[in-house]
Amino acid sequence: MSLTTMSYLVVGASFALYIGIALWSRARSTGDFYIAGKGVGPIANGMATAADWMSAASFISMAGLIAFLGYDGSVYLMGWTGGYVLLALLLAPYLRKFGKFTVPEFIGERYYSQTARVVAVICLIFISFTYVAGQMRGVGIVFSRFLSVDIETGLIVGMAVVFFYAVLGGMKGITYTQVAQYCVLIFAYTVPAVFISLQVTGVALPQLAFGGTVTDGLSLLQKLDAVVTELGFTAYTDGSKSTIDVFFITAALMVGTAGLPHVLVRFFTVPRVRDARASAGWALLFIAILYTTAPAVAALARYNLTETIQHGVVGEVSANLEYAQRPDWFKTWEGTGLLVFDDKNGDGRIQYYNDRNTEFAVRAESFGWRGNELTVDQDIMVLANPEIAGLPDWVIALVAAGAVAAALSTAAGLLLVISAAVSHDVLKGVLMPNISERAELRAGRVSAAAAILLAGYLGYDPPGFVAQVVAFAFGLAAASLFPVILLGIFSTRLNREGAIAGMITGLVFTLGYIIYFKGVFVAPMAENVAANWWFGISPEGIGAFGMLLNLAVATVVSRLTAPPPPHVVELVQRIRVPRDAPRGTVQST
C-alpha cells in the first residue's frame, strides 16, 4: 500500500471518529452549546484543554523552531506551560464559581458595564481570529504534503469537518472530539520520538535523551554543542537573545496563555470549582507529555540533520554529503519547497554552516565554500522525523493525522468562543436581551458557521500580516484580558473606569508597539532590531510590558474614581469561595 493510500485511510478513520462523536453529542440547549452543560469531568476536560491549547504551531513548528534556536527556544517551552500555573492558581477556580457562559460576560458583570463587555469582545475577536487563520493554514499544508491534494482542497475538507461537529455539537461536540484528538496527536508525536531517541542515544524515553550518550562518551547535548560550533553556529545550549528579552518573551507567553479566551472558557465546562482546579492540573500533565518530548525531538533533529550533511571532519572535501547521495526523505521534502539546496560553489556537495559568522567565514573561504547552501524550513523537522528515522508508513500517516488533529481541535475551540461572543455577548447581552433560548442557539450556530467561512478564507489567502501576528495574539491577550480578569477577582476596589482604561491602554500600547516595528497594514516605522527596542524588549515580549501598564493604569484610575457598588463587591466575595454559605450557617439566598 502506498504512503498516500495509507494516509487517506488513517486521516479518514480519524475524521470518521470525530464525526461519530459529534452525532452522539449533539447540543440541545445554549448551556450545551456554550459550556457543554457543565458536565465534563476533570480528566476529560484536561485532555480537551490540552488539545484545544496545542495548536498546529505546537505540533508542527515548535520542535523545529527550538532545533534552530537552541537555548532561546526555551521561551516557548516555559512560556506555554508556565501559564497553566497562573490559570490554575489565579483564574480557573474563580471563573468556574462565577458560573456563566463567556469571558466577556464575566468582565461585563464584574465591572457592571456593557462598555467593558464590548471592549472585551473586541479583544477576544481580534485574538481569536489571528490565531485561527494559522490553524486552517496548517490543515492545508498537511493535506498538501501527505494526501497529495491542493492546499485549497485540504482547507475545504478541514472546514467541512469542523463545521460538522462545531455547529452541530457546540461545546459539547468539541469537548469530546478534542479528547479523541488529544489521543491521536499525542500518540503520533511520541511514537517517532521514542524511535529516534533509541536510534541516536539508546535511551527509549525522549525526556532523558539530553543526557544519552552519542559517541566518544559525549552526551547528546555536549556532542551537539561541539558539532554546531564547529560550523560557526552559536552553541546549542547558549542563546543569542538578551536576558531581558528572554525574560519578557517568556512572561508574555505565560500571561498570554492564561488570558486566551478559548482556554479560559474550558474551565466553565466542569461541574464544580474543585474540578476546575483539578482540570488545570490534568491539562498541564497532558501538555507536558508533548512539551517535555519536544526539546528532545528538537535536539535530536538538529543533530541528525547536521550529521547527515556534515558527516566527517569540517574542511575535508569528502566530509560533506554528495547531493547525488542524498537520502529519500531529502528528495521528498525538496518537492514541497520547504528544503532547498543551492550549489553555490558547484562542487556537487552540500555545505551547511553559519555564513553570517564573519570569523568562521574566513575558514569556510579557505575550504572553497561559497556560502551556506541549504535552507531548511523549521516546519519539516517534526513532519520529516519518521522518514529520517526510517519508520514504517503507518507511523508517517499517523503523524499526518496528528498534525490535522492538533490544528482542527484548536480551530474548533477558537471558532466556538468567537460564535459565543457574537450570539451571547453581543446579540443577547447588548442588542436583543429578550431573545429566546432557541433563537440564541440558532444564532450561535449561524455565527459559528460564518466564523468558519471567514477563518477558511483567512487560511486560504492570509493577508501578509496574519502569519506575523499569530505570535502576537499572546501579547494582546496578556496586555488586554488577563489583568482585568485577575484584578476582578483579587481586588474589590477595581471599578468600571479602571478596567476599561486598563484594557484600552494595554491593547493600544501593545498593538502600537508591534505595528511600529512590524508594520501591520502600514510600513514599519523603525527597523526591528534590538538597538531600537525600548529597554531591549522585542515586539514578541512587549505584551508583558503592556500587562504591567494595564495593571498600573487600571489601579490608578480606580483610585481616582468611585468604588464599585456593593452588589459587585458581594459578587467578588462570592466567587472567591467554592461554597456560598459555609457549613453550619443558614443559607440566606
Partner 1 sequence: MDRSNYWRANLRVVAVCLTIWFVVSFGCGVLWVDWLNTIEIRGVKLGFWFAQQGSIYVFLGLIVYYVVRMNAMDREHGVDED
Which residues would be at the binding site for partner 1 (CB under 8 A)?
66, 71, 73-74, 77-78, 81-82, 84-85, 88-90, 93, 207, 210-211, 213, 218-222, 237, 243, 246-247, 250-251, 254, 272-274, 277-278, 280-281, 284-285, 288, 291-292, 295, 573, 576-579, 582-584
Q: The cell 515586539 sits on which residue?
A: 539
Between CA 113 and CA 484 the distance in angstroms is 13
Separation between Cα atoms, residue 493 and residue 202, nearest integer Å: 58
CB 374 within 8 Å of CB 412: no
* Largest Cα–Cα separation, the chain: 87
Distance (Å, rounded) from C-alpha 223 to C-alpha 319? Answer: 17
Instruction: Provide the grid cell at 309.
Output: 550533511
Sole residue written with cell 477595581: 494
Please report which residue ranges of 202-317 form alpha helices under DSSP H: 220-230, 243-259, 261-264, 273-309
- Comparing CB distances to partner 1, the nearer of 93 and 170 is 93
SS3 assignment, position 376: strand
**What is the Cα–Cα distance from 415 to 5, expressed in whole angstroms?**
31
C-alpha cell at 308: 547527515
Task: Report yes or no: 485 and 545 within 8 Å, Cβ to Cβ.
Answer: no
In the bound state with partner 1, the residue whose beta carbon lies nearer, of 86 and 479, is 86
Tell me the CA distances in angstroms from 436 to 103, 170, 253, 441, one per residue in order.
21, 18, 39, 9
Helix (H, G, I), strand (E, B) or coil at 540: coil
Closest CA to 46 of 282, 272, 259: 282
**CA–CA gap between residue 176 and residue 17 (Å, rounded):** 10
Using DSSP's 3-state secondary structure scheme, residue 242 falls into coil
Residues forming beta bridges with residue 341, ordered by sequence position: 374
Measured CA to CA, the distance from residue 466 to residue 335 in angstroms comes to 25
Closest CA to 296 of 188, 402, 204, 407: 204
Contact criterion met (CB below 8 Å) for 471 and 540: yes
